[in-house]
Structure formats: C-alpha cells, structure tokens
Structure 1
C-alpha cells in the first residue's frame, strides 16, 4: 500500500502534509528533514574521528525521503502538547488505509510494549516502570519511502547519520538493503533482518531514562551496490523501486517527565539527563532536524 501511496504525484501527496503540526501527522515530503549532524559541529567531529571502514557519510543536506506519520492508539484528552497529539490524516483514494495502518501498527506497538517490560525487568526496575510512561504516548507508524529510480547512485544518503529522538523504534525488513548501525565499540555494520523478524533500536528517550546506560543507536540509510542489485531485480520482476521502511516510533507520553529511573538516577552520567517534559524534549529535537520552526 505504501509503495502505491509514495508513487503518486508529489502534488497529490502534498495535500496530506501538515507542517503546522511539525509533520507529526500526515506526509513529510522529501527535502524537509535534515540530519541534525548538519547543524551540530560535535557530530561532524565524531564522524571525522571514526576509523576508516567504520566512518559515517557526513550529510550535506536534507534527506531525499518521504515519510507518512500515522498516529497509533489513544491520546490524552488534556495535554500541553496538542500539536504532538493531533488527529490523524486520512489520504484520499485508499479505502483500506485505516485498517491496514491500524492492524500493522498495533502489532508492532504491542511488540514495543513487551520489549519495554522485558527491559525494565532486566534493568532491575519495576515491570511497568517504562510502559507506564508510554501509556497514551504519541506513538507513530511512520512508513518511510525513497524513490530509488531517482536516487539510485551508490553513496546517496536516504537518511543521514542520526539517532532516533523517541523511546524505541521498530520496523520490518525492507525490500532493499542499505541500513547500517554503529555498535557501542564503534563498529559500523549492515543490518540484515531475518525473514519473519522485526528490528528494534533504542532511541534518545530510553538513553534519558537509563542515565546513559543505554545509548541511542546511531544509524544511516545509504545506497550501496547491494541496493542497486536489488533495484535491478525489482525492475526485472516489474516491482516497485520505492524503498519502504515500515517503522513504528514508540514514545514516552508527552506530559510525562523524562529523567533517569530508579537506580539510574545515581549513574555517573545522570546529571547529563536533567528532568524535562517528554513533549518539550521532542519539540527541541524536531527543531534540530527542521521539522519544527523555532
């Protein structure tokens, strides 16, 4: 369905954009979102210091990707952050849209809640320490698409070196390779998701709740020779050459306070994670990547 949606003319998709809501519902056109490294000298210095063979591609401009944000689950009736909890946008011409998005999104969101409970137990916290904060959060199913027929050169960045601002991110396997992640020891590795599996990454909000014990996962999506080979196969089989990532972004509820939980409050780096409303934190992050105007 998302291959069909993204393959529409740009002017049709533009009708589903909501820049006044920081693109947190509806479509985000290509060329809007910027990797925060562009405006962050420390991030660019980090890239320069990475060893050969494990160095990120330094982004030089906005990402050539489209994304559609579909809200999942209930939102609070009273909140300070209305633009982060807005009503969903329903595109014209897709009668099964809501059913498909809700069905797939709910399955992935359930998986995130399960993992959040497992993580809390593993961290020595109360079972619901994290999931209670996620209740009625601004969770989003955000399928992301890049047109490989237009952006198919080796080295093209579809999503520049970055971390995710939310709590936990989950997605299935794309038809086209290109996702790379950095391990804690600095190694850059390609992600290969087995059939029938989902991939989960830690976001900045989880780093905040654990006082830096868990680091937000750095990653990039880039065109490789493997990506080009998959494009050739798709064309031979007369399939779409849009690269789709069906991603769910799980969040802490906007009015909850981000702070290190339990024993993490005594972690050596805890002072680097002062209390802040999750919605305020998200707004600051959206400004840094050009989705919210300061």
Structure 2
C-alpha cells in the first residue's frame, strides 16, 4: 500500500505561511498532517490508556452507557451500529462520544445532549474533559488559518463555532477474526463536520481516496495529527475545499489479533448556524450548488439518518 505524500505542517509557522500550506494540501488531498498543535502529549498518553481500559470492560457494563434516541451523540455506541452511507455492511467498531458542556439555559440545549460519564476507569471524566478543551482550542486555531486561505478575516469562524456541536470520539476496532461477510473496520465515507482532528492510531489502516481513484495510506509521524475536511466545510466553500473519501481497512493477517484505537475530534458549527455559500467560492465556472439555506443541525440530522445512528 502506497502512502499519501502529505507534507507535515507546523502550526507554529507564521499564520499566512501555514494558511497557504494547509490550503495547498487540502486542495490536493482533502487531508493535512499538522505538528506543533499544542495538545499536551502527556494528556494524550493518559487518554490512550483510559480508552483501552474502558473498551476492555464487559459488554454489559459498557451498554449501561448506551442511550437510545440520541443518535449516539453522547456515551457508548455498541459494535456494528454505524454504517457508511450507501454501504451494505456495518462497520466493525464501537465508540464513545464526549460533547460540549453548554452553559446553563443555553438556547442550543435542545440539539445537544448533556454528557454522560462512566463509573470507571478512574479519571475518565477529568482527562477527556481537558482533552476536549485542548482539541477545541487547536481546532479553532486551524480554522482561523483556513479562513485566511479563503480570503476571510482570521476570526470569521469564531462566532460560527461558538458553543458548536463538536464531538470527540474514542474508537475501538476489535481484533478481526475474519472478513465477516466483507465488512471492514470503517467503510468508505466522508465526515459530516467542518474539519476533523485525528490522533493517529498505533495500528495502520487509515486510507484516503486520491483524485485518480487510488487508495493510499495515511501515516502521521510521532506527535502529528491528521486534519481532514468534512462535508460542512465542503458545502460552505462550494466544493473549493473537497471532503475526501476515506476508510479504515482491515488489518493484515499478522495484525488481525490486535485491537486498533483512534481518537477523532469532529469540529462542528453551532447547531443554529445557517449555511450560506461563501461568495468568494462562487464563480461562473463554479456556480452556487447550495442556493437553499439550511441550519447546521438540519444537515447533521439528515446525515445521522444516512449512517444508521438515527432512525
């Protein structure tokens, strides 16, 4: 399997330099690799350990935190629940969602459920609350650079993501005994949100689909995170910044007995954000594909139905 030739960008570079570099990587691949992102490495190590401990709990213990009716927005989602849009087989994964704690009386509360926290492992709530905040900060900084790339004010996204419906997902792909009728760990899909910040997994498997139709692996170096465009940013930019299809393939035979863990942070807009295509992304050659405005939550709910998390 070939690896994608993604440059490794430093968030410590001058804003305009980083903006140009991430824009170029996004336009070619829909993905970028970013180091010097400021997320505490010791906190990340704690998070990996707690993730493994939680998913090692008995199935009946984990299912205590499965909440029907909220489309997996918080707490535990069992193995083989989610399915890629258009796929026939459910993904071979289970996951936990941490979301934003809204201020008391927030008008967004109807679209964002409160967090739930497991009784064990110890320290789970503290570690993941802090990690969520660090992801949130890094994501906002990266969005400010994307704004510069698009010719916007660097603070353009700030009100759009204030109290945004961002979700941190702790993912466990159990060992793969067999192909289970053609199912894979995560079927080919595009993310729903604005951008995804992904802490890399020790086990290989993440692949993106190139413009010429080839699957290539994505392997961030130690300390770097993977950033990819979601469908919401693609919509906002009238497909100038493309949301790239990606998947997690099954392991090779010698690694089939090993679990795979990963930790994406899906950075979302405010639930009440109204989509309006950016004017600078509309040209005679690229007319507005989305003249009808909908809210970010309308879009999210539609997509959750498509991937099997909402009926």
Q: TM-score, normalised by structure 2?
A: 0.78
- Corresponding residue pairs, total: 261
Contact 1:81 1:255 in 2 (8 A): no
Instruction: Tell me how far 1:73 sits from its aligned partner.
Output: 5.0
Instruction: Tell me how far 1:99 sits from its aligned partner.
Output: 1.4
Structure 1 partner of 2:310: 292
Q: What do residues 256-289 of structure 1 show as CA deviations (whole Å, max 9, x unaligned)?
A: 1122123124472423463110000000000111
Q: Which of 237, 240, 265 is the matching residue for 1:248?
A: 265
Tell me the distance in 1 between the aligned counterparts of 2:104 and 2:274.
15
Tell me the distance in 2 between the aligned counterparts of 1:76 and 1:66.
31
Structure 2 partner of 1:6: 55
Tell me the distance in 2 between the aligned counterparts of 1:35 and 1:290.
8
Q: What do residues 198-232 of structure 1 show as CA deviations (whole Å, max 9, x unaligned)?
A: 0011000000110111111210001132xx44467
Instruction: Tell me how far 1:138 sits from its aligned partner.
Output: 0.9
Structure 2 partner of 1:50: none
Contact 2:74 2:115 in 1 (8 A): yes
Runs of 4+ aligned structure 1 residues displaced above 6 Å come to 152-155
Structure 2 partner of 1:282: 300
Structure 2 partner of 1:45: none
1:273–1:79: structure 2 CA closer, same or farther, 3 Å change rule?
A: farther
Q: What do residues 235-256 of structure 1 show as CA deviations (whole Å, max 9, x unaligned)?
A: xxxxxx3211111110011011
Moved more, 22-31 or 145-154: 145-154
Q: Which of 222, 226, 239 is the matching residue for 1:195?
A: 222
1:66 aligns with 2:84: no
Q: Which of 67, 79, 88 is the matching residue for 1:30?
A: 79
Give unpaired runs (5+ residues) of structure 2: 1-49
* Pairs within 5 Å for 1:82-161: 82=110, 84-148=111-175, 150=177, 156-161=183-188
Tell me the distance in 2 between the aligned counterparts of 1:180 and 1:279.
28
Give unpaired runs (5+ residues) of structure 1: 39-59, 233-240
1:179 aligns with 2:197: no
| CA RMSD of superposed structures (Å) | 2.2
Tell me the distance in 2 between the aligned counterparts of 1:213 and 1:151.
40
Q: TM-score, normalised by structure 1?
A: 0.82
Tell me the distance in 1 between the aligned counterparts of 2:83 and 2:209.
20
- Secondary structure of the residue aligned to 2:130 is helix
Contact 1:108 1:171 in 2 (8 A): no
Contact 1:211 1:273 in 2 (8 A): no
